[in-house]
Structure 1
Amino acid sequence: MSVEGTGSGSTTAHEPSNWNVPNALTTLRILMVPIYGWALLVDGGESVLWRTVAWGLFVFAMITDKIDGDIARKRNLITDFGKIADPIADKAITGMAFIGLSIIMDTWWMWTITIVVLVREWAVTLLRLSVLKSVVIAAAQSGKWKTVAQAGALGLLTLPLLEVDGWLDVPGEVVWVVAVALLVVAFALTLWSGYEFFRDVWKQRHSIRKTSAD
Protein backbone atom coordinates (compact mmCIF):
# COMPACT_ATOMS: atom_id res chain seq x y z
CA MET A 1 0.00 0.00 0.00
CA SER A 2 1.32 3.45 -0.85
CA VAL A 3 0.65 6.85 0.68
CA GLU A 4 1.12 9.83 -1.59
CA GLY A 5 2.78 12.90 -0.10
CA THR A 6 0.89 16.15 -0.48
CA GLY A 7 3.65 18.70 -0.07
CA SER A 8 6.56 17.64 -2.25
CA GLY A 9 4.76 15.35 -4.67
CA SER A 10 6.85 12.40 -3.47
CA THR A 11 5.38 8.99 -2.72
CA THR A 12 6.16 7.15 0.49
CA ALA A 13 5.55 3.44 0.44
CA HIS A 14 4.04 1.95 3.54
CA GLU A 15 3.42 -1.75 3.66
CA PRO A 16 1.70 -3.06 6.82
CA SER A 17 3.61 -5.76 8.67
CA ASN A 18 2.55 -9.37 8.24
CA TRP A 19 2.72 -9.64 12.02
CA ASN A 20 -0.78 -8.40 12.79
CA VAL A 21 -4.02 -9.63 14.35
CA PRO A 22 -5.89 -10.43 11.10
CA ASN A 23 -3.03 -12.58 9.80
CA ALA A 24 -2.72 -14.29 13.19
CA LEU A 25 -6.42 -15.20 13.11
CA THR A 26 -6.10 -16.43 9.53
CA THR A 27 -3.11 -18.61 10.47
CA LEU A 28 -5.05 -19.94 13.47
CA ARG A 29 -7.93 -20.94 11.20
CA ILE A 30 -5.54 -22.86 8.94
CA LEU A 31 -4.01 -24.67 11.92
CA MET A 32 -7.50 -25.56 13.16
CA VAL A 33 -8.45 -27.42 9.97
CA PRO A 34 -6.89 -30.82 10.81
CA ILE A 35 -8.11 -30.56 14.42
CA TYR A 36 -11.64 -29.87 13.21
CA GLY A 37 -11.42 -32.79 10.78
CA TRP A 38 -10.19 -35.15 13.49
CA ALA A 39 -12.91 -34.09 15.94
CA LEU A 40 -15.58 -34.49 13.25
CA LEU A 41 -14.51 -38.04 12.40
CA VAL A 42 -13.89 -39.49 15.88
CA ASP A 43 -15.62 -42.89 16.07
CA GLY A 44 -16.65 -42.55 12.45
CA GLY A 45 -18.53 -39.35 13.23
CA GLU A 46 -20.76 -40.99 15.83
CA SER A 47 -19.27 -39.30 18.90
CA VAL A 48 -21.76 -36.73 20.17
CA LEU A 49 -19.10 -35.03 22.28
CA TRP A 50 -16.48 -34.67 19.54
CA ARG A 51 -19.03 -33.70 16.88
CA THR A 52 -20.09 -30.89 19.23
CA VAL A 53 -16.45 -29.88 19.67
CA ALA A 54 -16.04 -29.87 15.88
CA TRP A 55 -19.11 -27.65 15.60
CA GLY A 56 -17.57 -25.21 18.10
CA LEU A 57 -14.36 -25.09 16.06
CA PHE A 58 -16.28 -24.51 12.84
CA VAL A 59 -18.32 -21.67 14.35
CA PHE A 60 -15.13 -20.12 15.76
CA ALA A 61 -13.55 -20.27 12.30
CA MET A 62 -16.55 -18.57 10.68
CA ILE A 63 -16.64 -15.81 13.31
CA THR A 64 -12.90 -15.10 13.15
CA ASP A 65 -13.11 -15.02 9.35
CA LYS A 66 -15.54 -12.11 9.65
CA ILE A 67 -13.53 -10.43 12.42
CA ASP A 68 -10.11 -10.55 10.73
CA GLY A 69 -11.54 -9.15 7.49
CA ASP A 70 -13.21 -6.26 9.31
CA ILE A 71 -10.05 -5.46 11.30
CA ALA A 72 -7.82 -5.61 8.21
CA ARG A 73 -10.02 -3.21 6.28
CA LYS A 74 -10.67 -0.83 9.18
CA ARG A 75 -7.02 -0.54 10.24
CA ASN A 76 -5.45 -0.82 6.78
CA LEU A 77 -3.74 -4.09 7.63
CA ILE A 78 -4.31 -5.77 4.27
CA THR A 79 -1.12 -7.63 3.29
CA ASP A 80 -0.04 -9.88 0.43
CA PHE A 81 0.11 -12.76 2.93
CA GLY A 82 -3.46 -12.08 4.01
CA LYS A 83 -4.70 -11.89 0.44
CA ILE A 84 -3.32 -15.38 -0.21
CA ALA A 85 -3.83 -17.04 3.18
CA ASP A 86 -7.37 -15.82 3.91
CA PRO A 87 -9.12 -17.52 0.96
CA ILE A 88 -6.99 -20.62 1.51
CA ALA A 89 -8.13 -20.75 5.15
CA ASP A 90 -11.76 -20.37 4.12
CA LYS A 91 -11.62 -23.06 1.45
CA ALA A 92 -9.62 -25.40 3.70
CA ILE A 93 -12.13 -25.39 6.57
CA THR A 94 -15.19 -25.68 4.31
CA GLY A 95 -13.42 -28.30 2.19
CA MET A 96 -12.63 -30.35 5.28
CA ALA A 97 -16.28 -30.04 6.35
CA PHE A 98 -17.57 -31.21 2.97
CA ILE A 99 -15.17 -34.17 2.82
CA GLY A 100 -15.68 -35.16 6.47
CA LEU A 101 -19.47 -35.00 6.20
CA SER A 102 -19.34 -36.99 2.94
CA ILE A 103 -17.36 -39.71 4.71
CA ILE A 104 -19.87 -39.76 7.58
CA MET A 105 -23.03 -39.66 5.43
CA ASP A 106 -21.53 -41.86 2.68
CA THR A 107 -24.21 -41.11 0.08
CA TRP A 108 -23.74 -40.55 -3.65
CA TRP A 109 -25.52 -37.20 -3.57
CA MET A 110 -23.34 -35.81 -0.76
CA TRP A 111 -20.16 -36.89 -2.53
CA THR A 112 -21.46 -35.35 -5.78
CA ILE A 113 -22.15 -32.02 -4.05
CA THR A 114 -18.75 -32.13 -2.37
CA ILE A 115 -16.79 -32.81 -5.58
CA VAL A 116 -18.63 -30.15 -7.60
CA VAL A 117 -18.34 -27.52 -4.85
CA LEU A 118 -14.63 -28.17 -4.22
CA VAL A 119 -13.76 -28.02 -7.92
CA ARG A 120 -15.66 -24.73 -8.27
CA GLU A 121 -14.24 -23.17 -5.09
CA TRP A 122 -10.60 -24.00 -5.74
CA ALA A 123 -10.82 -23.10 -9.45
CA VAL A 124 -12.13 -19.64 -8.55
CA THR A 125 -9.57 -19.20 -5.76
CA LEU A 126 -6.62 -20.22 -7.91
CA LEU A 127 -7.75 -17.93 -10.72
CA ARG A 128 -8.07 -15.00 -8.33
CA LEU A 129 -4.56 -15.64 -6.99
CA SER A 130 -2.87 -16.15 -10.34
CA VAL A 131 -4.02 -15.07 -13.78
CA LEU A 132 -6.50 -12.50 -12.49
CA LYS A 133 -4.04 -10.24 -10.66
CA SER A 134 -4.64 -7.57 -13.27
CA VAL A 135 -8.37 -8.23 -13.54
CA VAL A 136 -10.63 -7.14 -10.70
CA ILE A 137 -13.77 -9.24 -10.31
CA ALA A 138 -15.99 -7.90 -7.57
CA ALA A 139 -17.71 -10.43 -5.34
CA ALA A 140 -21.24 -10.97 -6.65
CA GLN A 141 -24.22 -10.90 -4.32
CA SER A 142 -24.95 -14.53 -5.20
CA GLY A 143 -21.44 -15.45 -4.01
CA LYS A 144 -22.05 -13.76 -0.67
CA TRP A 145 -25.34 -15.59 -0.21
CA LYS A 146 -23.60 -18.82 -1.21
CA THR A 147 -21.05 -18.32 1.55
CA VAL A 148 -23.76 -17.71 4.14
CA ALA A 149 -25.80 -20.74 3.02
CA GLN A 150 -22.69 -22.95 3.00
CA ALA A 151 -21.66 -21.87 6.50
CA GLY A 152 -25.17 -22.47 7.83
CA ALA A 153 -25.54 -25.88 6.21
CA LEU A 154 -22.07 -27.17 7.13
CA GLY A 155 -22.34 -25.80 10.66
CA LEU A 156 -25.66 -27.54 11.30
CA LEU A 157 -24.59 -30.79 9.64
CA THR A 158 -21.45 -30.84 11.77
CA LEU A 159 -23.68 -31.12 14.85
CA PRO A 160 -24.59 -34.71 15.87
CA LEU A 161 -28.21 -34.18 14.83
CA LEU A 162 -29.00 -37.84 14.09
CA GLU A 163 -26.83 -39.23 16.88
CA VAL A 164 -28.77 -37.71 19.80
CA ASP A 165 -31.39 -39.66 21.75
CA GLY A 166 -34.25 -38.87 24.07
CA TRP A 167 -36.09 -35.57 23.83
CA LEU A 168 -33.52 -34.24 21.34
CA ASP A 169 -34.26 -37.00 18.84
CA VAL A 170 -37.13 -35.31 16.94
CA PRO A 171 -35.65 -31.76 17.08
CA GLY A 172 -32.41 -33.23 15.76
CA GLU A 173 -34.18 -34.79 12.78
CA VAL A 174 -36.03 -31.54 12.05
CA VAL A 175 -32.83 -29.48 12.14
CA TRP A 176 -31.11 -32.08 9.94
CA VAL A 177 -33.80 -31.63 7.27
CA VAL A 178 -33.36 -27.85 7.50
CA ALA A 179 -29.59 -28.29 7.16
CA VAL A 180 -29.95 -30.46 4.05
CA ALA A 181 -32.34 -27.91 2.53
CA LEU A 182 -29.75 -25.17 3.20
CA LEU A 183 -27.11 -27.39 1.60
CA VAL A 184 -29.20 -27.72 -1.57
CA VAL A 185 -29.62 -23.92 -1.67
CA ALA A 186 -25.87 -23.47 -1.16
CA PHE A 187 -25.17 -25.95 -3.97
CA ALA A 188 -27.46 -24.08 -6.38
CA LEU A 189 -25.88 -20.74 -5.43
CA THR A 190 -22.43 -22.28 -5.86
CA LEU A 191 -23.23 -23.23 -9.44
CA TRP A 192 -24.84 -19.87 -10.25
CA SER A 193 -22.15 -17.71 -8.65
CA GLY A 194 -19.50 -19.82 -10.39
CA TYR A 195 -21.19 -19.18 -13.72
CA GLU A 196 -21.34 -15.42 -12.97
CA PHE A 197 -17.65 -15.38 -12.02
CA PHE A 198 -16.38 -17.13 -15.14
CA ARG A 199 -18.73 -15.08 -17.30
CA ASP A 200 -17.35 -11.83 -15.85
CA VAL A 201 -13.77 -13.09 -16.23
CA TRP A 202 -14.36 -13.84 -19.91
CA LYS A 203 -15.96 -10.43 -20.49
CA GLN A 204 -13.13 -8.52 -18.82
CA ARG A 205 -10.34 -10.45 -20.49
CA HIS A 206 -12.09 -10.10 -23.86
CA SER A 207 -12.40 -6.35 -23.23
CA ILE A 208 -8.69 -6.10 -22.34
CA ARG A 209 -7.65 -7.96 -25.51
CA LYS A 210 -9.89 -5.73 -27.62
CA THR A 211 -8.46 -2.58 -26.01
CA SER A 212 -4.88 -3.81 -26.56
CA ALA A 213 -5.62 -4.61 -30.21
CA ASP A 214 -7.05 -1.12 -30.75
Structure 2
Amino acid sequence: MTPAKPVPLLNAANVLTVARMVLVPVFVVCVVASRMTHDGWQLAAGLTFVVASATDYVDGWIARTHNLVTSFGKVADPIADKALTGAALVLLSFYDKLPWWVTALILIREWGVTALRFWVIRHGVIPASRGGKVKTALQILAIGWYLTPLPPSLAAVGPWIMAAALVVTVVTGLDYVARAIRIRRASLAVGGVYPAPPEAPAVAPQADEPVA
Protein backbone atom coordinates (compact mmCIF):
# COMPACT_ATOMS: atom_id res chain seq x y z
CA MET A 1 0.00 0.00 0.00
CA THR A 2 1.34 3.41 -0.95
CA PRO A 3 1.88 5.54 2.16
CA ALA A 4 -0.27 8.64 2.42
CA LYS A 5 1.40 11.76 1.13
CA PRO A 6 2.29 14.06 4.05
CA VAL A 7 0.35 17.29 4.25
CA PRO A 8 2.67 20.30 3.82
CA LEU A 9 2.76 22.69 6.74
CA LEU A 10 2.62 25.65 4.38
CA ASN A 11 -0.83 25.33 2.85
CA ALA A 12 -3.83 27.60 2.22
CA ALA A 13 -5.70 26.54 5.36
CA ASN A 14 -2.75 27.23 7.65
CA VAL A 15 -1.98 30.52 5.91
CA LEU A 16 -5.53 31.69 6.65
CA THR A 17 -5.20 30.56 10.27
CA VAL A 18 -1.99 32.55 10.67
CA ALA A 19 -3.65 35.53 8.95
CA ARG A 20 -6.44 35.38 11.53
CA MET A 21 -3.86 35.40 14.34
CA VAL A 22 -2.17 38.43 12.76
CA LEU A 23 -5.51 40.23 12.48
CA VAL A 24 -6.13 39.94 16.23
CA PRO A 25 -3.65 42.70 17.20
CA VAL A 26 -4.83 44.76 14.21
CA PHE A 27 -8.37 44.45 15.52
CA VAL A 28 -7.27 45.43 19.04
CA VAL A 29 -5.49 48.54 17.73
CA CYS A 30 -8.61 49.60 15.80
CA VAL A 31 -10.84 49.21 18.87
CA VAL A 32 -8.42 51.07 21.15
CA ALA A 33 -8.04 53.85 18.57
CA SER A 34 -11.82 54.15 18.29
CA ARG A 35 -12.45 54.02 22.05
CA MET A 36 -15.86 52.83 20.82
CA THR A 37 -16.74 56.46 20.08
CA HIS A 38 -14.95 57.24 16.79
CA ASP A 39 -17.10 55.91 13.96
CA GLY A 40 -14.24 55.54 11.46
CA TRP A 41 -11.99 53.43 13.66
CA GLN A 42 -14.97 51.58 15.10
CA LEU A 43 -16.12 50.61 11.61
CA ALA A 44 -12.57 49.46 10.82
CA ALA A 45 -12.61 47.34 13.97
CA GLY A 46 -15.95 45.81 12.99
CA LEU A 47 -14.77 45.01 9.46
CA THR A 48 -11.52 43.51 10.76
CA PHE A 49 -13.46 41.31 13.16
CA VAL A 50 -15.86 40.11 10.46
CA VAL A 51 -13.03 39.36 7.99
CA ALA A 52 -11.02 37.52 10.64
CA SER A 53 -14.09 35.52 11.69
CA ALA A 54 -14.84 34.61 8.07
CA THR A 55 -11.37 33.09 7.65
CA ASP A 56 -12.34 30.50 10.28
CA TYR A 57 -15.03 29.08 8.01
CA VAL A 58 -12.90 29.36 4.88
CA ASP A 59 -9.79 27.66 6.30
CA GLY A 60 -11.93 24.89 7.76
CA TRP A 61 -13.62 24.29 4.41
CA ILE A 62 -10.27 24.24 2.60
CA ALA A 63 -8.72 21.86 5.15
CA ARG A 64 -11.62 19.40 4.90
CA THR A 65 -12.15 19.62 1.15
CA HIS A 66 -8.50 19.29 0.16
CA ASN A 67 -7.37 17.10 3.07
CA LEU A 68 -4.99 19.75 4.39
CA VAL A 69 -5.50 19.12 8.11
CA THR A 70 -2.20 19.39 10.00
CA SER A 71 -1.13 19.16 13.63
CA PHE A 72 -0.27 22.87 13.50
CA GLY A 73 -3.77 23.71 12.32
CA LYS A 74 -5.36 21.55 14.99
CA VAL A 75 -3.63 23.61 17.68
CA ALA A 76 -3.42 27.07 16.07
CA ASP A 77 -6.98 27.25 14.72
CA PRO A 78 -8.86 27.12 18.06
CA ILE A 79 -6.24 29.38 19.66
CA ALA A 80 -6.80 31.99 16.93
CA ASP A 81 -10.59 31.74 17.31
CA LYS A 82 -10.56 32.17 21.06
CA ALA A 83 -7.97 34.96 20.92
CA LEU A 84 -10.16 36.92 18.50
CA THR A 85 -13.44 36.38 20.35
CA GLY A 86 -11.82 36.86 23.75
CA ALA A 87 -10.14 40.12 22.74
CA ALA A 88 -13.42 41.45 21.34
CA LEU A 89 -15.42 40.59 24.46
CA VAL A 90 -12.82 41.97 26.87
CA LEU A 91 -12.56 45.24 24.93
CA LEU A 92 -16.34 45.62 24.74
CA SER A 93 -16.52 45.21 28.51
CA PHE A 94 -13.54 47.53 29.07
CA TYR A 95 -15.37 50.28 27.16
CA ASP A 96 -18.60 49.60 29.08
CA LYS A 97 -20.48 48.25 26.08
CA LEU A 98 -20.96 44.81 27.58
CA PRO A 99 -21.28 43.72 31.25
CA TRP A 100 -18.16 42.00 32.56
CA TRP A 101 -20.17 39.03 33.82
CA VAL A 102 -21.28 38.28 30.25
CA THR A 103 -17.69 38.30 29.03
CA ALA A 104 -16.56 36.15 31.96
CA LEU A 105 -19.34 33.59 31.43
CA ILE A 106 -18.64 33.22 27.72
CA LEU A 107 -14.86 32.95 28.17
CA ILE A 108 -15.20 30.41 30.99
CA ARG A 109 -17.42 28.31 28.72
CA GLU A 110 -15.07 28.59 25.72
CA TRP A 111 -11.90 27.68 27.57
CA GLY A 112 -13.76 25.12 29.65
CA VAL A 113 -14.86 23.21 26.54
CA THR A 114 -11.28 23.27 25.26
CA ALA A 115 -10.12 21.81 28.59
CA LEU A 116 -12.83 19.14 28.34
CA ARG A 117 -11.58 18.10 24.91
CA PHE A 118 -8.12 17.54 26.34
CA TRP A 119 -9.57 15.74 29.37
CA VAL A 120 -11.27 13.07 27.26
CA ILE A 121 -8.91 12.98 24.27
CA ARG A 122 -7.57 9.56 25.35
CA HIS A 123 -11.08 8.17 25.56
CA GLY A 124 -12.66 9.69 22.47
CA VAL A 125 -13.35 12.91 20.58
CA ILE A 126 -16.20 15.30 21.33
CA PRO A 127 -17.41 16.39 17.87
CA ALA A 128 -18.77 19.86 17.32
CA SER A 129 -22.55 19.98 17.60
CA ARG A 130 -25.05 21.99 15.61
CA GLY A 131 -25.68 23.97 18.75
CA GLY A 132 -21.99 24.82 18.90
CA LYS A 133 -22.09 26.13 15.36
CA VAL A 134 -25.20 28.19 16.11
CA LYS A 135 -23.43 29.54 19.21
CA THR A 136 -20.43 30.61 17.15
CA ALA A 137 -22.61 32.33 14.54
CA LEU A 138 -24.61 34.18 17.21
CA GLN A 139 -21.47 35.32 19.03
CA ILE A 140 -19.95 36.65 15.81
CA LEU A 141 -23.19 38.43 14.89
CA ALA A 142 -23.58 39.93 18.37
CA ILE A 143 -19.98 41.14 18.62
CA GLY A 144 -20.08 42.51 15.08
CA TRP A 145 -23.31 44.33 15.92
CA TYR A 146 -21.76 45.95 18.99
CA LEU A 147 -18.67 46.98 17.04
CA THR A 148 -20.53 48.55 14.13
CA PRO A 149 -21.57 52.19 14.59
CA LEU A 150 -25.35 52.05 14.20
CA PRO A 151 -28.24 54.43 14.85
CA PRO A 152 -29.76 54.00 18.34
CA SER A 153 -32.81 52.12 17.04
CA LEU A 154 -30.63 49.43 15.46
CA ALA A 155 -27.99 49.44 18.21
CA ALA A 156 -30.74 48.52 20.68
CA VAL A 157 -31.05 45.14 18.94
CA GLY A 158 -27.47 44.23 19.93
CA PRO A 159 -28.20 43.24 23.56
CA TRP A 160 -30.97 40.89 22.39
CA ILE A 161 -28.63 39.14 19.97
CA MET A 162 -26.00 38.88 22.69
CA ALA A 163 -28.61 37.49 25.09
CA ALA A 164 -29.48 34.78 22.56
CA ALA A 165 -25.78 34.04 22.07
CA LEU A 166 -25.28 33.82 25.83
CA VAL A 167 -28.17 31.37 26.31
CA VAL A 168 -26.95 29.10 23.51
CA THR A 169 -23.38 29.38 24.83
CA VAL A 170 -24.38 28.20 28.30
CA VAL A 171 -26.74 25.45 27.09
CA THR A 172 -24.20 24.00 24.62
CA GLY A 173 -21.50 24.26 27.27
CA LEU A 174 -23.55 22.11 29.65
CA ASP A 175 -24.21 19.69 26.79
CA TYR A 176 -20.46 19.35 26.17
CA VAL A 177 -19.90 18.62 29.86
CA ALA A 178 -22.51 15.85 29.77
CA ARG A 179 -21.08 14.39 26.55
CA ALA A 180 -17.53 14.44 27.91
CA ILE A 181 -18.62 12.59 31.06
CA ARG A 182 -20.51 9.99 29.01
CA ILE A 183 -17.52 9.39 26.71
CA ARG A 184 -15.14 8.98 29.63
CA ARG A 185 -17.48 6.70 31.58
CA ALA A 186 -18.18 4.55 28.52
CA SER A 187 -14.46 4.14 27.88
CA LEU A 188 -13.61 3.33 31.48
CA ALA A 189 -16.53 0.89 31.73
CA VAL A 190 -14.89 -1.37 29.14
CA GLY A 191 -11.42 -0.64 30.46
CA GLY A 192 -10.52 0.95 27.17
CA VAL A 193 -8.50 3.90 26.08
CA TYR A 194 -8.74 5.07 22.52
CA PRO A 195 -5.38 6.51 21.52
CA ALA A 196 -5.17 8.81 18.55
CA PRO A 197 -3.82 7.20 15.37
CA PRO A 198 -0.15 7.93 14.50
CA GLU A 199 -1.06 10.48 11.85
CA ALA A 200 -3.33 12.39 14.23
CA PRO A 201 -1.40 13.39 17.39
CA ALA A 202 -3.48 13.69 20.51
CA VAL A 203 -4.18 17.37 20.36
CA ALA A 204 -7.35 19.39 20.36
CA PRO A 205 -9.41 18.95 17.18
CA GLN A 206 -8.94 21.65 14.57
CA ALA A 207 -11.76 24.11 14.73
CA ASP A 208 -12.77 23.21 11.22
CA GLU A 209 -15.93 22.39 13.06
CA PRO A 210 -16.35 26.03 13.48
CA VAL A 211 -16.04 25.29 16.84
CA ALA A 212 -17.59 23.94 19.94
Shorter chain as denominator, the TM-score bin is: 0.7 to 0.9
- Unpaired runs of 5+ in structure 2? 193-212
**Residue correspondences, number:** 191
TM alignment of 1:138-149, pairs within 5 A: 138-149=127-138
Which of the two has higher C-alpha Rg? 1
Aligned to 1:75: 66
CA distance in 1, matches of 2:175, 2:155: 30
Match of 1:12, as an amino acid? P
TM-score (norm 1): 0.84
Aligned to 1:210: 189
Percent identity reads 35
CA contact (8 A) 1:55 1:159 kept: yes
Task: Name 2:28's counterpart in structure 1.
Answer: 37
Residue 121 (structure 1) aligns with: 110
Which stretches of structure 1, 4 residues or longer, exceed 2 Å deviation after superposition?
A: 130-134
| In 1: Cα distance, 2:34 partner to 2:70 partner | 40
Q: 1:169-208 to 2 correspondence within 5 Å? A: 172-208=151-187
Could you list the per-position Cα deviations for residues 183-205 of structure 1 after superposition, in whole angstroms to 9, with x for gaps in the alignment?
A: 00000011000000010000110
Deviation of 1:112 after TM superposition, in Å, equals 0.4
1:14-71 Cα distance to aligned partner (Å, 9 max, x none): 3201100110110111111111012112152211111111111011112111111111
Give 1:91's match in structure 2, choosing from 79, 82, 87: 82
Amino acid at match of 2:61: D
- TM-score (ref. length: structure 2): 0.85
Q: Over aligned residues, Cα RMSD in angstroms? A: 1.5
DSSP-derived class of the 1:12 partner: coil
- Could you list the per-position Cα deviations for residues 130-158 of structure 1 after superposition, in whole angstroms to 9, with x for gaps in the alignment? 33323111212211111111010001101
